[in-house]
A and B are shown apart, each in its own frame.
Chain A
Amino acid sequence: MRLRELTYADALREALREEMLRDPNVILLGEEIGVFNGVYKVTRGLLDEFGPDRVRDTPISEAAITGAAVGLALAGMRPVAEIMYMDFLPICMDQLATQAAKMRFMSGGQLNVPMVLRTQYSLGRQHGAQHSQFTPAWFFQVPGLKVAVPATPHDAKGLLKSAIRDPNPVLFLEGGLLYRTKGLIPEEEYTIPLGKADTKRKGDDVTIVGVSRLVGEAMTAAKTLEEKGISAEVIDVRTLQPLDLDTIVESVKRTSRLIVASDDIKTGGVGSEISAAVTETAFDYLDAPVIRVASPDTPIPFSPPLEQQYIPNADKIVQAAVQLIG
C-alpha cells in the first residue's frame, strides 16, 4: 500500500472530490465554500472543478442551509452542507433534529435523508465563548442521526466517504485544531465504517477513550504514562452515534480502568454517557471509578492563558491515570 502525507483538511477535501466524481448527486453548499475556497480550505478548488451547480455559496442562514439540504436529500440528491462553527447548530436544530433525523422513522422507511452536515469546533483557538463550543452530547438525544468525530486525517477521509454514502443524515464534527495536522493516507480508495471504534494503541493498565482532538492528546499521555510504568490503551470512538461500546467494554475487561477524554463540558457530556454505559455493562470488571477528563462547566474564556487552563490536554489525562492507579 502506497502512503502519502496529507493534512486533515486536505484529506477531507479528497473525500469530497472523490465522492463528487463518483456520484453526480453529491453537491456541496455552505457559507464561503466556493469563491473563498472555504474558511478552512477544505473545499479548495472544488468550485473551479465542479462548477456553481454543484458547489453553492449560500447566504448567511444556517436554518436555510440545513433546510435546503434536507429538501435536496428527500429529492434524491446527496448534499454535503457546511456549517462554519458548531456553535451555530442550535439554528439548524429544527431541520436537523426534528426533520432530518425523524423522516425515515415516521415514513416507515419510505423516505430517506442521505445528507451530511459538516461542521467544526474551534476550542483552543481563542475564538471566544460563541465560536469554540463542542457540544456532541446534545445529539445523543437525537436518534436517527449519526455523529462522526474523526481524529486523524486518515479517519477523516474514510469516515466522510462513508457518511456521504450513508442513507441517513450524518452530523460530521471536525476538529478545528486538527485541520493542519498531518497523517499518512493510502493512495488507494478506502472507506471506514460508521460505528466502529479504533484501538490506536494497545495497553494493559488503563483504557483511555478519546474523542476527536483528545485522541491525539491521549496518545501523548500514553507515552508519558509509559515512562511512569503505566501501560495505557487508547481507543478512538470515531463515531458517537452509533457508539461502539463493544470495543470499549472489551478493553475495560482487560484493563479494569477507564478514562474518557473529550473536549466537551463534563456535566452531561460524552464522558458521562460512556461512563454510564460501561458501568452498566462491565461493572464487575471495574477496578476504579470511571474518570471523565473534560472541560469545566463554564462558558469558554477568550483570554488565551485562561483558555489554556480551560482545555483538556495530555497532562490532565496523565494526572487522571496516575490518580486512578494510585
Chain B
Amino acid sequence: MPEVVMPRLDPGMASGKIVEWLKKEGEIVQKGEPILVVEGEKTTFEVEAPESGVLTKILASPGTDVEVSHPVAVIGEASTGAQSTSPPRNVGRAELSQSAQTTQVERHETVRSERVVASPAARRLAQEHGVDLTKLKGTGPGERISREDVLAAVEQVPSTGVSSKISQPTVLKRVKLEGIRKVVAERLGFTARTAVQVTLTMEADATKLVELKDKEDHVSFTAFAVKAAAKALETNHLINSTIDGEEITTYSDVNVAVAINIDQGLVAPVVRNANKKSLKEINSEIEELSQKAKEGRLNIEELTGGTFTITNLGAYDIESFAPVINPPQCAILGLGRIAYKPYVVGERVSARPATLLTLVFDHRIVDGVPAAKFLRDVKSHLEDPQSL
C-alpha cells in the first residue's frame, strides 16, 4: 500500500509544511491527481497521488512540518476501503506538479527502481574518488545523485590529517579486486597474517647442472629444481606438509606446485607425485601446465593438492628473493638466476656457475635445523644432477 511522502522541493530542503489537504480521508484519488499543497523554503507545490486508490489516512494536519521523505498519508486500494491497518510496504514517491508552469520541457519521471539513481558524471567521479554511491543521498531532481553530491562526499571523507584540497595524484584507473587478483590477494594476505615465515638462503654450484642442461636440451632449470626438491621432500617429511588451524598434515605424496605468471595474474598448477616422475616427464608436464595456464584451461584438479611450491624468477635476472608461502603449505622455494660467481678454495678464487636457493618456511610447522637440512639436500641434488 503506497505512502505519500514529503517530497524534496529543493536541494536544501529538510522539511516542508503542509498547507492544505485537497482530499479528505476516505476519498478516492486518481494517480497524478493533486492531493495536498506543501510549502518548501521557496515555493508552494501541489503533491500528486503516487497511485490510484483511497486516501486511507492523513498522517499530518495542515500547519505541521514534516521531514523530507517522511510519510504524510497512506493510499489504500479502493476495494479495501479505509479500514486497512497493515503497515505500508511499497513506499511510492509523490510526484510534483508545479501547476502554474506551462513549460515545453518534459517532466522527468520519478525513478522507483532499486538501482542507484546517479548521473553519468556522478558515476565517473565516484569511481575516480572511490566513493560508494549507495551511501549517498541525491539532491538532484528525482533525488538523482549529482556531480556536486559526489564532490561533497569527497570533501567530507575524514582524511588522515591531510586536507583533500591538497592535490592528489591523478588517477589512471581503478580496478575492482576480483578474479585471480582477488584469489592471490586473499591467499597471500592470509599467509602474511598467519604464517611465521623464516627465510634461508644457500648457494648451489650449478656447474654440472649447466653442463647437463646443455646436453638435455629443452629441460628447464625449474624442472631440475622440482625434481631435486621432490627427491629431498621424500626424506624431509615435515616440509611436505600443510597446516590448518591447530592441525599439521604431513603427506606421503609429493605434489609440487609451480608458480606461473599469466596476463591475469599468478597461478600455481601442480605436478603430482613429482618424486616418482622422470625429469623429462616433469619438464613436459610443466610445459603443458604453462600452456594451459596461458589459455585459461587449467582445471581444479590441476590447481589443487600441492604440498610444496617452487617459483623461479631467474629469467628476470633476479639474484635471490624470499617468496610468500602458498597457503596452507609449509614451505616455498624461490629460484634466482644461474650466473658465474666467484668461488673461493683455500686462497684461490675462481669462477663457476652458481645459483642462490631461497627457502621460506612456516616456523609454526618446522624449526630452522630441519628446514636447513632440507635445503642442503635440495642443493646436493642440484649439484649432482646426473642422479636426478
- Which chain B residues numbered 83 to 128 have a C-beta less than 8 Å away from chain A? 101-108, 119-124
A326 to B104, CA, bound (A): 17
A283 to B119, CA, bound (A): 9
Q: Are B139 and A320 in contact (CB under 8 A)?
A: no
**A287-B140, A288-B146 known; A256+B121 contact, CB < 8 A:** yes
Collect the chain B residues with CB atoms within 8 Å of residue A309's CB. Answer: 102
Q: Which residue of A lies closest to B123 (CB)?
A: A284
Interface residues of B (CB under 8 A from A): 10-11, 101-108, 119-124, 139-141, 144, 146-148
Closest-CB distance, A257 to chain B (whole angstroms): 9
**A326-B10, A326-B11, A326-B140 known; A287+B146 contact, CB < 8 A:** yes
- Which chain A residues numbered 269 to 287 have a C-beta less than 8 Å away from chain B? 283-287
Q: Are A287 and B141 in contact (CB under 8 A)?
A: no
A269 to B107, CA, bound (A): 19
Selected contact of A288 from candidates B101, B104, B144, CB within 8 Å: B144
A175 interface hit (Cβ, 8 Å): no
Closest-CB distance, A318 to chain B (whole angstroms): 9
**A326-B10, A326-B140 known; A287+B122 contact, CB < 8 A:** yes
A284 to B150, CA, bound (A): 14
Q: Are A286 and B141 in contact (CB under 8 A)?
A: no
Most chain A CB atoms below 10 A, which of B10, B106, B119 = B119
Closest-CB distance, B31 to chain A (whole angstroms): 21
Query: Could you jot down 22 A-B contacts, CB within 8 Å?
Result: A284-B121, A285-B120, A285-B121, A285-B124, A286-B119, A286-B120, A287-B119, A287-B121, A287-B122, A288-B140, A288-B144, A288-B146, A293-B105, A309-B102, A316-B103, A323-B103, A323-B141, A324-B141, A326-B10, A326-B139, A326-B144, A326-B146
Collect the chain B residues with CB atoms within 8 Å of residue A319's CB. Answer: 101, 103, 105
Q: Which residue of B lies closest to A313 (CB)?
A: B104
Collect the chain A residues with CB atoms within 8 Å of residue B139's CB. Answer: 326
A266 to B10, CA, bound (A): 28
> Chain A: how many interface residues by the 8 Å CB criterion?
24
Collect the chain B residues with CB atoms within 8 Å of residue A266's CB. Answer: 104
Collect the chain A residues with CB atoms within 8 Å of residue B121's CB. Answer: 256, 284-287
Q: Which residue of A lies closest to B147 (CB)?
A: A287
Main secondary structure of the interface of B (DSSP, over half): loop
- Taking A284-B120, A284-B123, A296-B104 as given, write out 15 further A-B residue pairs in contact, using a Cβ cutoff of 8 Å, ordered by the A residue number: A256-B121, A256-B147, A266-B104, A284-B124, A286-B121, A287-B146, A288-B140, A288-B144, A295-B104, A316-B104, A319-B103, A320-B103, A323-B103, A323-B141, A324-B141
Q: Are A312 and B104 in contact (CB under 8 A)?
A: yes
Closest-CB distance, A113 to chain B (whole angstroms): 38
A51 interface hit (Cβ, 8 Å): no
Closest-CB distance, B128 to chain A (whole angstroms): 10
A33 interface hit (Cβ, 8 Å): no
Closest-CB distance, A265 to chain B (whole angstroms): 11
A294 interface hit (Cβ, 8 Å): yes
Closest-CB distance, B209 to chain A (whole angstroms): 56
Closest-CB distance, B145 to chain A (whole angstroms): 9
Q: Are B123 and A288 in contact (CB under 8 A)?
A: no
Q: Are A291 and B102 in contact (CB under 8 A)?
A: no
Closest-CB distance, A267 to chain B (whole angstroms): 12
Collect the chain A residues with CB atoms within 8 Å of residue B105's CB. Answer: 291-293, 316, 319-320, 323
A110 to B148, CA, bound (A): 55
A199 to B139, CA, bound (A): 29
A186 interface hit (Cβ, 8 Å): no
Closest-CB distance, A213 to chain B (whole angstroms): 15
A299 interface hit (Cβ, 8 Å): no
A288 to B120, CA, bound (A): 8
A324 to B119, CA, bound (A): 12
Q: Are B120 and A283 in contact (CB under 8 A)?
A: yes
A268 interface hit (Cβ, 8 Å): no
Collect the chain A residues with CB atoms within 8 Å of residue B122's CB. Answer: 287
Q: Are A289 and B104 in contact (CB under 8 A)?
A: no
A296 to B104, CA, bound (A): 7
Closest-CB distance, B92 to chain A (whole angstroms): 20
A309 to B105, CA, bound (A): 13
Collect the chain A residues with CB atoms within 8 Å of residue B107's CB. Answer: 323
Collect the chain B residues with CB atoms within 8 Å of residue A320's CB. Answer: 103, 105
Most chain A CB atoms below 10 A, which of B106, B107, B120, B140 = B120
- Which chain A residues numbered 291 to 326 have a C-beta less than 8 Å away from chain B? 291-296, 309, 312, 316, 319-320, 323-326
Collect the chain A residues with CB atoms within 8 Å of residue B101's CB. Answer: 319
Most chain A CB atoms below 10 A, which of B102, B104, B107, B140 = B104
Q: Which residue of A lies closest to B122 (CB)?
A: A287
Collect the chain B residues with CB atoms within 8 Å of residue A285's CB. Answer: 120-121, 124
Collect the chain B residues with CB atoms within 8 Å of residue A293's CB. Answer: 104-105
